[in-house]
Amino acid sequence: MKADMSFKDYAEYYDLIYKDKDYEKEVDFLEEIFETFYKPKKILEVGCGTGNYTRILLERGYEVTALDISEDMVKIAREKCACKFIKGDIRDVSINDEFDACIAMFTVIGYITKNSDLIKALNNIHRYLEPNGVFVFDVWNGLAVMSILPEQRMKEVENDKIKIIRVAVPNLRAFDHICEVNYKLLILNKEENTFNEINEKHVVRFYFPQEIKYYLENAGFEVLRIGPFLDLNGKVDENVWNIVVIARAVGKKV
Ligand SMILES: C[S@@+](CC[C@H](N)C(=O)[O-])C[C@H]1O[C@@H](n2cnc3c(N)ncnc32)[C@H](O)[C@@H]1O
For 68-83, the pLDDT digits (tens) are 999 999 999 999 999 9
Ligand 1 center–CA 108 separation, angstroms = 5
Domain-embedded: residue 130? yes
Q: Hey, whose CA ends up nearest to atom 8 of ligand 1? A: 106
φ, ψ of residue 176 to 5 degrees: the values are -90, 0
Q: What percent of the chain has pLDDT over 90?
A: 94
At residue 254, the pLDDT reads 55
User: For a pocket test of ligand 1, which of 54, 108, 124 has the largest count of ligand atoms closer than 8 A to its C-beta?
Assistant: 108
Q: Do 95 and 177 lie in a common domain? A: no
Q: What is the Cα–Cα distance from 112 to 7, expressed in whole angstroms? A: 14
Q: Which residue among 22, 68, 200 is best mutated to probe the pocket of ligand 1, counting the most ligand atoms within 8 A of its Cβ? A: 68
Same domain, 32 and 70: yes
Where in the sequence is the domain holding 192, given as residue range(s)?
Answer: 144-204
Residue whose CA is at the smallest distance from ligand 1 atom 17: 69
Neighbours of 154 (CB within 10 A): 10
Tens digits of per-residue pLDDT, 125-167?
999 999 999 999 999 999 999 999 999 999 999 999 999 999 9
pLDDT digits (tens, 9 = 90+) for 93-129: 999 999 999 999 999 999 999 999 999 999 999 999 9
pLDDT reading at 37 higher than 90: yes
**Would 107 be classed as within a structural domain?**
yes
Question: What pLDDT, in 10s, does the model give residues 181-203?
Answer: 999 999 999 999 999 999 999 99
If asked whether residues 128 and 196 sit together in one domain, one would say no
The average pLDDT across 46-55 equals: 98
Residue 217: exposure state from Cβ atoms within 10 A (0-12, 13-18, ≥19): middle
For position 221, which CATH number holds? 3.40.50.150
Query: pLDDT tens, 9-35?
Result: 788 899 999 999 999 999 999 999 999
Residues 218 and 177 in one domain: no
CATH code where residue 167 lies: 2.20.25.110
Give the residue from 214, 44, 45, 39 showing the smallest Cα distance to 129.
Answer: 44
The whole-number pLDDT of residue 252 equals: 62
Spacing, Cα 98 to ligand 1 middle (Å):
20
- Distance, CA 73 to ligand 1 centroid (Å)? 8
Reported as a pLDDT band with limits 50, 70 and 90, residue 1 is very low
Chain CA centroid to CA 44, Å: 13
Question: Quick one: 167 and 120 in the same domain?
Answer: no
Domain count across the chain? 2
Q: What is the mean pLDDT of the chain?
A: 95
Q: Which residues line ligand 1 (CB under 6 A)?
A: 3, 7, 46-49, 52-53, 67-70, 73, 89-91, 105-108, 111-112
